[in-house]
């Protein structure tokens, strides 16, 4: 009886001690709805490194991938908490489109971050095009991936015109996917559109639709149509990024367009052969994009969230993004070790064109299907 009593007292004391030690560390509630590679990266790399450097904080990561609206639902919860003055129980969104909903903008749900709050923001490259509320911390860009057994380094095209020429000279050796089924194929198509509209992506403003600009797309169809027969299997376009990577992996083709993170990760995992190399066009690179983090303005641990944001933009974490998940840094490549730079020298660019989607996207996809994928003239 006595023993049990002692045990009970010990247990209570232990629990008390544990809760005290937990109270010592202020929690930072982080939400993510990104893919497994990203949530794994947080669990295995970012959080241990951050907690080692900032022992006063405890990062609590909640994965809401595939649950309803993901992070957007949590943002709406934070908005509701804002109206009632409650704790939103979220301090940091791994990715957030801060202007996706007008109510968020109106209520100033997200904190506008300055370089005073997050000093490392000073190193972020302008190509990320961030809103004041957004902190870009990782990027991805479409690249050319090729098999160096079949393509000599000096033969790798450096311009879009050169790429089309290469495709014509090596029939059946190049493939990209349908533009609506994955960004790597879309980049091949949008790059053709940029090519015929003066290589100036800034002409395409999100939310607008310039009929005169869309009318020029027909020239892009001529470009892509001219290589249609030289694409894999006389013009067979797979339905996704992964089937394209697979065709390069099994040696069916020698060159593809691929997302940097998917391609580099497949390479690191050994899914793509060791002879795989990556390159970027030098006249105007393929499109890319960044993941933006955000902090709700009613976060109860803003200090911790800002420390985390600053940590993500540190050279150490930016290097990990390149090495671990095959992402692109959001800071200038010059911040990273010289060795890493030389390894990625063929793909490094501080120019990251973006494609606006919207009405332009619809015209791009339909135009491609009706003019490039088929030889039926829709106006006949």
Partner 1 sequence: MTAAAPPQSSPSWRKGIIAYLMVAPPLLLMILLIFIPALQSTARTLTIDVNGEPGFSISRYTAFFQDPISVSNLFFTFQVTLITLAAIFILCFPLAIYLRFATGKLAGAVQVLALFPLFVPGIILAYALIRFLGTRGTLDNVLSIVGFTGYRTPYLKPDAIIFGLVWESIPFTVLVLTAGLRQISDSLIESARDVGANSWQIFWRIILPQIARPVLIVFSLNFLGIFGSYTIPYLLGPAAPQMMGVFMQQTFGQYRRPDDAETQAVITFIICAFIGFLYVRTVATQRKREESE
Can residue 207 be called a binding residue for partner 1 (CB under 8 A)? no
Question: Which string of DSSP letters, residue by residue, matches 155-211?
Answer: GS--SHHHHHHHHHHSTTSEE---TTS-HHHHHHHHHHHHHHTTS-GGG--TT---H
Q: Which of 72, 82, 340, 373 binds partner 1 (CB under 8 A)?
A: 373
Q: Which of 27, 162, 225, 243 binds partner 1 (CB under 8 A)?
A: 243
Task: Name the segment binding partner 1 (CB under 8 A); options: 34-42, 144-152, 232-240, 343-351.
Answer: 232-240
Question: Which string of DSSP letters, residue by residue, matches 19-57?
Answer: HHHHHHSEEEEEEE-S-HHHHHHIIIIIHHHHHHH-TTE
CA distance 329 to 318: 5
| Residue 48 vs 251, nearer CB to partner 1 | 251
Q: How far is the CB of 181 from partner 1 (least distance, A)?
A: 9
Can residue 180 be called a binding residue for partner 1 (CB under 8 A)? yes
Q: How far is the CB of 360 from partner 1 (least distance, A)?
A: 11
| Residue 315 vs 365, nearer CB to partner 1 | 365
CA-based nearest residue to 172, from 230, 228, 226, 223: 230
Torsion 71-76-77-81 (CA) sign:
positive
Q: How far is the CB of 150 from partner 1 (least distance, A)?
A: 13
- Biggest CA–CA distance in the chain, Å, is 96
| Residue 276 vs 324, nearer CB to partner 1 | 276
Tokens of 44: 């295995």
Number of residues that bind partner 1 (CB under 8 A): 26
| Residue 247 vs 322, nearer CB to partner 1 | 247
Task: Name the segment binding partner 1 (CB under 8 A); options: 14-22, 74-82, 345-353, 370-378.
Answer: 370-378
Can residue 210 be called a binding residue for partner 1 (CB under 8 A)? no
Give the DSSP letter of residue 153.
G
CA distance 315 to 321: 10
Tokens of 278: 């990556």
Say what angle helices 160-169 and 183-196 make with each other, to 10 degrees: 110
CA-based nearest residue to 287, from 140, 180, 177: 140
Q: How far is the CB of 183 from partner 1 (least distance, A)?
A: 14
Can residue 206 be called a binding residue for partner 1 (CB under 8 A)? no
Q: Which of 12, 251, 350, 351 binds partner 1 (CB under 8 A)?
A: 251
Question: Which residue ranges make up the site for partner 1 (CB under 8 A)?
Answer: 178, 180, 233, 236-240, 243, 246-247, 250-252, 359, 362, 365-366, 369-370, 373-374, 376-378, 380
């Amino acid at each position: 009886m006595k023993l049990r009593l002692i045990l009970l007292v010990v247990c209570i004391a232990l629990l008390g001690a544990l809760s005290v030690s937990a109270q010592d560390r202020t929690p930072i509630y982080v939400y993510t709805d990104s893919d497994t590679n990203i949530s794994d990266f947080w669990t295995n790399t970012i959080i241990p490194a951050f907690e080692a450097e900032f022992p006063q904080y405890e990062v609590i990561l909640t994965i809401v991938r595939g649950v309803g609206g993901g992070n957007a639902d949590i943002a709406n919860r934070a908005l509701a908490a804002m109206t009632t003055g409650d704790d939103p129980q979220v301090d940091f969104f791994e990715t957030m489109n801060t202007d996706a909903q007008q109510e968020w903008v109106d209520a100033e749900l997200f904190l506008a971050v300055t370089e005073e709050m997050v000093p490392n923001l000073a190193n972020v490259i302008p190509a990320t095009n961030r809103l004041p509320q957004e902190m870009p911390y990782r990027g991805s860009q479409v690249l050319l991936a090729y098999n160096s057994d079949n393509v000599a380094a000096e033969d790798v095209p450096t311009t879009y015109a050169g790429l089309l020429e290469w495709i014509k000279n090596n029939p059946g050796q190049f493939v990209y996917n349908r533009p609506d089924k994955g960004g790597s194929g879309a980049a091949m198509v949008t790059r053709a559109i940029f090519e015929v509209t003066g290589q100036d992506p800034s002409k395409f403003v999100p939310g607008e639709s310039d009929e005169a600009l869309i009318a020029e797309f027909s020239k892009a169809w001529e470009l892509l149509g001219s290589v249609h027969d030289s694409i894999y299997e006389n013009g067979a376009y797979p339905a996704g990024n992964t089937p394209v990577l697979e065709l390069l992996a099994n040696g069916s083709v020698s060159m593809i367009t691929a997302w940097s993170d998917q391609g580099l990760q497949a390479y690191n995992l050994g899914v793509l052969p060791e002879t795989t190399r990556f390159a970027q066009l030098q006249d105007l690179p393929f499109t890319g994009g960044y993941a933006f983090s955000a902090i709700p303005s009613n976060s109860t641990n803003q200090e911790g969230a800002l420390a985390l944001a600053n940590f993500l933009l540190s050279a150490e974490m930016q290097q990990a993004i390149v090495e671990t998940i095959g992402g692109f840094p959001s800071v200038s490549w010059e911040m990273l070790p010289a060795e890493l730079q030389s390894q990625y020298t063929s793909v490094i660019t501080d120019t990251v064109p973006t494609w606006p989607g919207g009405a332009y996207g619809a015209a791009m996809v339909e135009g491609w299907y009706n003019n490039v994928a088929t030889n039926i003239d829709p106006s006949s």
